[in-house]
Amino acid sequence: MTVLAIVGAQWGDEGKGKLVDEVAAHADFVVRYQGGANAGHRVVRDGEEFAFHLTPAGMLNPGVTCIIGNGVVVDPRALLNEMEELRGRGLDVGRLYVSDRAHVVMPYHILLDRLEEDSRGQEAIGATLRGIGPAYVDKFSRSGIRMADLLDVDTLRAKLAVTLAQKNRMITQIYGESPLSLEEIHSEYAGYGQRLRAHITDTQAMLQTAYGEGKRILLEGAQAALLDVDFGTYPYVTSSSTVAGGAATGSGLPPRAIEHVMGVYKAYITRVGSGPMPTELRDETGERIRKAGNEYGTTTGRSRRCGWFDAVAGRYVARINGLDSFAVMKLDVLDEFETVKICTSYRAEGRVFDSMPANLDDMKLCEPVYEEWPGWMTPTSQATSWDELPENARHYLRRIEELLETRLAMVSVGASHGDTIVVSPLPL
Ligand code: GDP
Ligand code: IMO
Ligand code: MG
């Protein structure tokens, strides 16, 4: 096993950061392949907390080379701040590289993200306002600025002049806001290029060489399948390919190099931002889960919407990703619930769905059909093996495994590094 992808399998915030940090102990490279600073991956080590937004969560492992792949949209200001913080906490950021092909999140992307969200009114997506959507729009409309462009002041000026003229027409004529200054942006971003010069490189070639040498490579997904631009609850999604398919195009590794895809689920489900969520609990139970799981955003601090485990969405995601295995995180959060529920199908006006409908209107009408399981009412955080988990927790997990039609590999019972039970051997 040399290449493993770890992907979000719900609406994000499943605990990918924690899992990546642990699995990275067995890796040589950890690679982010999509998204941007909209991600917030929290890792807790010896009581110290780290929140990764652009930097791969493998960074705490000193022997690991970390890569921000070509599929990521990079806000250089956010990246430099993050690097500064990590350096201040004693980490060597010299082993962090950014693809020269990665697109840059520019100030007009961040401004337009907000203006577009405001103009959607009631239909707002609830974006993180990190400029992600507008940056991917420019990438696909072929007017983006890439990391390599930051290294050449003349190229940067020429590209920026064309793009900014167009953006300023949008900003002033559509939204009635003040235009942005070419000179200011040029000098600020050329400066970022200088500061990041040693880190910007052909990471695709680096990874291909590493793969050829049999190095162990971990691909770290951000966001999750239900936020995927193709397969998520469109249009309430992010703007990248979050699924395993995106791991190849976003890193430069060939698709067949990825030998194992592991999906990350929570023992329940959460969502931040707008859009349908069939198992959402808008009651006291939802509030109990939010409190027990501390479900507040790592990036924006917003309250996360909470609900029971959705096996309909879960199985759909397992198939889209071709999951070889999966992890269940935050099992401990359900320790004090008398009963726990799993959604096994949706019902909408007399129709029954056992997979996620594409039509948003259908999706909005979907009501969950639940199975109810007895809770375990026992603390799980001290458990270090499958056999030490309470019997009812094991039944609950095995039922999820059956419904997802894929193999349970890991169970997480606490936020701290090491609070993880390996159910089947590590694929890396
Ligand atoms: P990510 O975006 O998928 O990396 O997830 P986040 O970091 O945004 O959110 C997951 C939160 O749950 C973080 O605060 C983690 O520290 C925490 N966490 C991860 N695994 C566990 C677990 O097994 N139990 C508990 N109680 N917390 C966990
Ligand atoms: P991690 O990697 C949870 C959500 C936003 C919004 C939608 C679009 O920590 O799991 P965007 O700013 O991407 O255009 O917002 O996607 N979203 C996330 N939700 N976890 C994330 O990342 C998210 N990144 C974006 O809340 O609904
Ligand atoms: Mg997160």
State the architecture of 3-98+200-262 in CATH terms: 3-Layer(aba) Sandwich (3.40)
Tell the residue nearest (CA) to atom 8 of ligand 1: 13
272 CB near ligand 2 (under 6 Å)? yes
pTM of this structure = 0.97
Give residue 18 CA to ligand 1 midpoint distance, Å: 6
Ligand nearest to the CA of 47: 1
Nearest to 376 by CA among 390, 365, 366: 390
Q: Which two tokens stand for residue 201?
A: 């490189």
pLDDT at 209 over 70: yes
Nearest to 400 by CA among 307, 289, 277, 311: 311
State the architecture of 103-196 in CATH terms: Orthogonal Bundle (1.10)
Does 103 participate in catalysis according to the annotation? no
18 CB near ligand 1 (under 6 Å)? yes
CB contact set of 266 (below 8 Å; sequence gap of 6+)? 10, 13, 14, 15, 293, 309, 328, 329, 330, 333
Backbone φ, ψ for residue 361 (5° rounding):
-65, -40
H-only helix segments in 107-259: 107-120, 132-140, 153-169, 182-196, 203-212, 244-249
More confident residue, 402 or 302: 402
Residue pair 202/15 in contact (Cβ under 8 Å)? The answer is no
Helix, strand, or coil here: 80? helix
Backbone φ, ψ for residue 20 (5° rounding):
-60, -45
Distance CA 245, CA 342 (A): 28
Give residue 151 CA to ligand 3 midpoint distance, Å: 31
Query: Which atom of ligand 2 lies closest to the CA of 240?
Result: 13
**Residue 363 belongs to what H/E stretch?**
helix 360-365
Does 92 participate in catalysis according to the annotation? no
Distance CA 106, CA 132 (A): 10
pLDDT at 427: 73
Confidence at 406, pLDDT banded by 50, 70, 90: very high
Give residue 299 CA to ligand 2 midpoint distance, Å: 9
pLDDT at 414 over 90: yes
* CA-to-CA separations, 145 to 104, 115, 172, 187, 188, in angstroms, rounded: 6, 21, 21, 15, 14
Q: How far is CA 197 from the centre of its chain?
A: 26
Pairing of strands 65-68, 29-32: parallel
Tell the residue nearest (CA) to atom 2 of ligand 1: 13
Taking residues 384-399, report their average pLDDT. 98
pLDDT at 297: 85
Which of 111, 130, 220, 227 gets mutated to test ligand 2 (max ligand atoms within 8 A of its CB)? Answer: 227
Q: C-alpha dihedral over 43, 45, 48, 54, to 10 degrees?
A: -30
* Phi-psi category of residue 39: left, alpha or beta, with phi > 0 → left and psi -120 to 50 → alpha: beta
CB contact set of 32 (below 8 Å; sequence gap of 6+)? 39, 54, 55, 56, 67, 68, 69, 72, 220, 222
Which DSSP symbol is given to 280? B
38 CB near ligand 2 (under 6 Å)? yes
Confidence at 1, pLDDT banded by 50, 70, 90: low
Backbone φ, ψ for residue 49 (5° rounding):
-110, 135
412 CB near ligand 1 (under 6 Å)? yes
Tell the residue nearest (CA) to atom 18 of ligand 1: 415
Select which of 13, 138, 310, 419 is catalytic. Answer: 13
Ligand nearest to the CA of 296: 1
**Residue 73 belongs to what H/E stretch?**
strand 73-74
Give residue 153 CA to ligand 1 midpoint distance, Å: 41
Q: What is the pLDDT of residues 333-351, one digit of tens each?
A: 999 999 999 999 999 999 9
Which DSSP symbol is given to 26? G
Which of 18, 60, 288, 333 gets mutated to test ligand 1 (max ligand atoms within 8 A of its CB)? Answer: 18
227 CB near ligand 2 (under 6 Å)? yes
pLDDT at 131 over 70: yes
265-422 has which CATH code?
3.90.170.10
Q: What is the pLDDT of residues 76-126, one digit of tens each?
A: 999 999 999 999 999 999 999 999 999 999 999 999 999 999 999 999 999
Which has the minimum average pLDDT: 138-142, 294-298, 367-371?
294-298
Q: What is the pLDDT of residues 24-66, one digit of tens each?
A: 999 999 999 999 999 999 999 999 999 999 999 999 999 999 9
Q: What is the overall mean pLDDT for the chain?
A: 97
Give residue 233 CA to ligand 2 midpoint distance, Å: 12
Ligand nearest to the CA of 305: 2
Q: What is the pLDDT of residues 169-205, one digit of tens each?
A: 999 999 999 999 999 999 999 999 999 999 999 999 9
Confidence at 425, pLDDT banded by 50, 70, 90: confident
Q: How far is CA 382 from the centre of its chain?
A: 28
Select which of 28, 41, 260, 324 is catalytic. Answer: 41
Helix, strand, or coil here: 3? strand
Query: Which atom of ligand 2 lies closest to the CA of 227?
Result: 16
Residue pair 16/9 in contact (Cβ under 8 Å)? The answer is no
Q: Give domain limits for the chain.
A: 3-98+200-262, 103-196, 265-422
Tell me which residue has tokens 């998204």. 35
39 CB near ligand 2 (under 6 Å)? yes
Distance CA 26, CA 428 (A): 6
What are the contacts of 122-126 at 24+ separation with CB within 8 A?
Answer: 123/274, 124/274, 125/235, 125/236, 125/237, 125/273, 125/274, 125/275, 126/236, 126/272, 126/273, 126/274, 126/275, 126/302
Which of 6, 14, 18, 38 gets mutated to test ligand 2 (max ligand atoms within 8 A of its CB)? Answer: 38
Nearest to 13 by CA among 295, 277, 279, 236: 295
Distance CA 398, CA 403 (A): 9
Ligand nearest to the CA of 20: 1
Partners of 326 in the beta sheet? 263, 408
Q: Which two tokens stand for residue 394?
A: 């094991």
Nearest to 297 by CA among 333, 269, 270: 270
